[in-house]
Amino acid sequence: MTDQTAADHSDDQNIQIRLASRPKGRPSAENFTITAAPVPSPGDGQVLIRTQYLSLDPYMRGRMSDAPSYAPPTEVGAVMVGGTVGEVVASRAAGLSAGDVVLAYTGWQKYGVQRAGAVRKLNPAAAPVTTALGVLGMPGFTAYAGLTQIGKPQPGETVVVAAASGPVGATTGQLAKIFGARAIGVAGGREKVAYLKEIGFDAAIDHRSPDFKAQLAAAAPDGVDVYFENVGAHVWDAVFPLLNDFARIPVCGLIGHYNATELPAGPDRTPVLMSAILRKRLTLRGFIQTEFVADLMGEFLERATGWVHDGSLRYKEHVVDGLENAPEAFIGMLDGTNFGKLLIRVS
């Protein structure tokens, strides 16, 4: 097959950010290293992609650790993993040409090679390409899968969403409204709370408020039927007493615990949790969005694209320029400093 090239990159370098060491607790800049490498060449059936945008997501903190998880850890010395949108600059695969824009998983680097079957060609005229990493990508699909397959909100029910101003949480709350439920968002800071009200949440509460628990209870006078868990920690503590009989809890993330190095102090509360699961007949179900991709992704893209176009599903992006700024932006995300879907504009 003829090699197709969009631009000469022979004198360019492939800038990469690699895992230098495993963090103990909160990551720091010392856990990353920025290196230069030759630009790779695609083999048969592969494409070379120049990264335009890199997605930064909480799951990456788990990949930095070697603790047991649902996916293998990133090896020390390896390029940090991550979803990307980029331009094909050289193709040795049928169906993809230089200049095409694709969704890929090339990680924290300027150039990456992938099999053609592992990327998805994007149509920039249909939606901004960044949405493939956010509301019309993995975060949006995570919200859709967790809510439709586990949360299953019914019209008139109350849905509480943790980390509600983030890309998963904001989508979850808006979907709950589309499905006829009442949505309560929990976020950190006045600006984020105001944004949730702007995009249609029925109530929004700042988890940093000293009377957070009382505010949440007042916002959910009839209890909570679905709790979309992204945080854990004190947000879970506030929601737990409000759960109704037969409440459903999709457990998507626990960002409030990702940097923990030991179990929290205090008594073992497992018996209290197990008693509530039995007595209230709760459904507490962890999930990883990949388990639903084969059956649901097509349906999600069709429905969500329509909702984005008609304005019923809105999104916010937080774009940071420069690949070299990815470590600082990532650490800030774990601290809650980003506002919306966090993206690195690489080129």
The answer to whether residues 176 and 199 touch, using CB atoms and an 8 Å cutoff, is no
Q: Which amino acid is at 209?
A: S
Q: Which amino acid is at 294?
A: A
What's the CA gap between 109 and 15, in Å, rounded? Answer: 6
Q: How far is CA 237 from the centre of its chain?
A: 23
Query: Cα 304–254–319 angle (5° rounding)?
Result: 55
Domain range summary for the chain, segments of one domain joined by +: 4-130+315-345, 138-254+280-290
CATH number at 4-130+315-345:
3.90.180.10
CATH 1.10.940.10 fits domain 138-254+280-290:
no
What's the CA gap between 282 and 115, in Å, rounded? Answer: 43
Q: What is the phi/psi pair of residue 339, to 5°?
A: -135, 95
pLDDT computed for residue 11 by the predictor: 52
What's the CA gap between 105 and 340, in Å, rounded? Answer: 21
pLDDT computed for residue 263 by the predictor: 78
User: Other C-beta atoms within 10 Å of 1: how many?
Assistant: 9
Residues 6+ apart with CB under 8 A from 199: 170, 173, 174, 314
Q: For the packed helices 167-178 and 138-146, what is the interaxial angle rounded to 10 degrees?
A: 50
Residues 6+ apart with CB under 8 A from 11: none
pLDDT tens per residue across all 347 residues of the chain: 334 444 445 457 999 999 999 999 899 999 999 999 999 999 999 999 999 999 999 999 999 999 888 888 999 999 999 999 999 999 999 999 999 999 999 999 999 999 999 999 999 998 999 999 999 999 999 999 999 999 999 999 999 999 999 999 999 999 999 999 999 999 999 999 999 999 999 999 999 999 999 999 999 999 999 999 998 889 999 999 999 999 999 999 888 777 777 777 888 889 999 999 999 999 999 999 999 999 999 999 999 999 999 999 999 999 999 999 999 999 999 988 889 999 999 98
What's the CA gap between 137 and 167, in Å, rounded? Answer: 10
pTM for this predicted structure:
0.89
pLDDT computed for residue 10 by the predictor: 46
pLDDT computed for residue 9 by the predictor: 52
Tokens at residue 36, please? 């230069």
Write b or e for each residue in 308-347: b if 16 or more Cβ atoms lie within 10 A of its Cβ, otherwise e: beeeebebbbbebeebeebbebbbbbbebebbbbbbbebe
Tens digits of residue pLDDT in 126-163: 899 999 999 999 999 999 999 999 999 999 999 999 99
Looking at residue 109, the DSSP 8-state letter turns out to be B
